[in-house]
Amino acid sequence: RIDLGLGRAPGSDPVTSRALNNDMSRAENFPSEVTELQTLLGPYNGTHPIRAIPGENTNVPIWLLGSSLFSAQLAAQKGLPYVFAGHFAPRFVYDAIALYKREFKASSVLDKPYVMLALPLVAADTDDEAQYLSTTSKQRVLELIRGNELWLKPPVESMDGLWSEQERAHVENFLSLSVVGGHVSIKHKLEMIAKQLEVDEFIFTNDVFDSEKRHRALEILMEIKH
């Protein structure tokens, strides 16, 4: 499966983002650039001076990515599937998905809205282990808030002493849609979120320090699915 996700943000740390997006006016061109890309990936019709080879006529599925209402509205207008960045912008999740579904216009791509939700995931064999492993994700968000490098750090027994109360509130808000736990907890949380938000698919971030534990989290997801 190959999908193409399009968003306005570079998707990096603040320093890199500023370097890549130094012309902020380009964001205004995003809707027309999406249309142009759709043309390039569709059948050649002679209207564009450039031909995308081998992309031409592949019709690679295009998703619009967003963490605010802008991309939700654009995806609705173009009749494209929509991915909401719940892994870092949870406060807009309800409004963005509701707006997308309310204003959706059927297209040659979709006849009805289709939503994917990105969530932070820490799955383990027990709830306690998952909570322990999740401190890696908390430390990473803490470094993001502080403007530091975003390397994964080993989990810790307690976050006490590592953050201020204000920083703790910021981290917990950032990760408020986190799905953390063992098999039963993960399954329950995902079913609840899917029902509340009426999403069609999930995609996950998996900030677990140990690679074997990270792979195990994905195995648990597949076990829950089946």
DSSP at 164: -
**Cβ(43)–Cβ(35) below 8 Å:** no
Report domain extents, the chain: 4-113, 120-194+205-225
DSSP at 62: E
pLDDT digits (tens, 9 = 90+) for 8-41: 876 555 566 665 555 555 667 888 889 888 888 8
Residue scoring higher pLDDT (4 or 55): 4
Residue 171 phi/psi, 5-degree rounding, is: -65, -45
pLDDT digits (tens, 9 = 90+) for 108-154: 999 999 999 999 999 999 999 999 999 999 999 999 999 999 999 99
- Residue of 172, 161, 201 whose CA lies nearest to 61: 201
The answer, yes or no, to whether the previous bond of 54 is cis (omega within 30 of 0) is yes
Give the model's pLDDT for residue 39.
Answer: 84
Alpha-carbon Rg for the chain in angstroms = 19
Query: Which residues have C-beta within 8 Å of that of residue 55, sequence separation ≥ 6?
Result: 40, 41
- Whole-structure pTM value: 0.88
Half-sphere exposure of 33 (CA within 13 A, CB side): 9
Residue type present at position 43: P
Q: Please tell me whether residue 179 adopts helix, strand or coil conformation.
A: strand
Q: How far apart are CA 170 and CA 102, in angstroms?
A: 30
Query: Which residues have C-beta within 8 Å of that of residue 103, sequence separation ≥ 6?
Result: 73, 76, 77
